[in-house]
Homo-oligomer: A and B are copies of this chain.
Amino acid sequence: MTIDRESETPDTLGGVGELAALKRIFPRLPSAAAELIGPGDDSAVLATPDKRVVITTDMMIHGPDFRMAWSSPYDLGWKAAATNLSDVAAMGAVPTGLVVAIAAPNDTPVSSLEAIADGLREGCESLAPGSGVIGGDLSVSTVLTIVITAFGDLEGRAPVLRSGARVGDVIAVSGTLGLAAEGLRLLFTEGVVDGEPDAAAAATLATQHPDAIAAQLRPAPPIADGKAAALGGATSMLDLSDGLAIDARRIATASGVGLDLSSEAVGGRVQLDGGEDHSLLATFPEGATLPAGFRAIGRVVEGEGLLVDGVAYTERGGWDPYAGWDGAAG
């Protein structure tokens, strides 16, 4: 048999190499309005007219963070953008730029990288218009790994921290509660065949529960509401990544107060414990008009930790990557 090197290495990263892959990915990436020097030099240069820049970084790793049978490459690009943009928004900032580091197996089709770029582009354009990718790194690993660092502009405002909640403040949220976790629960229970993640089962699920599956695989957090909250006088804010219970406790601890949630306003357990909504949890001064998008769900009280209807809520809930991952990928 004649060895045909071309057909041995079809259109994969290992087949075409780093430079050829980058040439196909670059044109698909969104450009940033604040980009002064973009990809192609040793570093990028981003405009920061405010003399400060908001910076956050987050990894998405095949196995603990996503399954290939459930998430398309497009979904991965979108979600990586969304989760990082949300951390910028949670400071009251407007997202401006991202750098993207991707390590992928040698046999990854270049088309998968193109689809990740498409998801990044449409995620940025849809959730944070004007933001874009200003640089990155492409490398090889046996585990598909996407690492985004995102940047934002405070436009002269003070950053909204976790530590500013005051007794009497209204607790409010913009975005879904528990919907992304409901999507994940559905995928793990009904998106499997013989216990293994299954693409066809997930596709069926997505037609039956489009909102929950989309909230998990292609979230659309309320990025613009971060700036709106800051302009509306928010005293504290964060992005709900690990669930309302855990994240509300973070504001309580940082601010030295208690957060008392209304069970009627919140809903049930999945709304309290479910992670990955990337909704914005904020506190506003008593009597303030809540910005459009925010709804009141409780009150800041004296004391510490989380309460529900005035009673301490101490259940753990939430996600720790080391305790929470059983090692499966798929």
Contact = CB atoms under 8 A, between A and B. Distances in A.
A239 interface: yes
Contacts of A47: 51-52
Interface in A93-127: 93, 97, 99-101, 103, 106
Nearest to A100: B57
A133 to B, nearest CB: 11
B154 A322 contact: no
Nearest to A142: B143
Given A103-B59, A149-B149, A43 B322 contact: no
A19 interface: yes
A139 interface: yes
Contact of A141 (B63, B137, B254): B63
Interface in A179-200: none
Contact of A101 (B36, B53, B147): B147
A264 interface: no
A140 B93 contact: no
A53 B134 CA distance: 12
A51 to B, nearest CB: 5
A319 B58 CA distance: 28
B141 A55 contact: no
Interface string A40-54: 111111111111111
A161 interface: yes
A135 interface: yes
A278 to B, nearest CB: 10
Contact of A57 (B13, B63, B99, B154): B99
Contacts of A43: 54-56, 87-88, 90-91, 93, 150, 152, 159
A17 interface: yes
A231 B49 CA distance: 24
A151 interface: yes
A162 interface: yes
B55 A162 contact: no
A55 B55 CA distance: 11
A34 B245 CA distance: 33
A243 to B, nearest CB: 14
Given A59-B139, A145-B145, 18 more contacts: A17-B320, A36-B52, A37-B159, A40-B162, A42-B56, A43-B152, A45-B52, A45-B55, A45-B91, A47-B51, A48-B53, A53-B151, A55-B97, A61-B140, A65-B139, A106-B325, A140-B321, A140-B322
A-B CB proximity, top 3 nearest = A43-B56, A42-B90, A149-B149
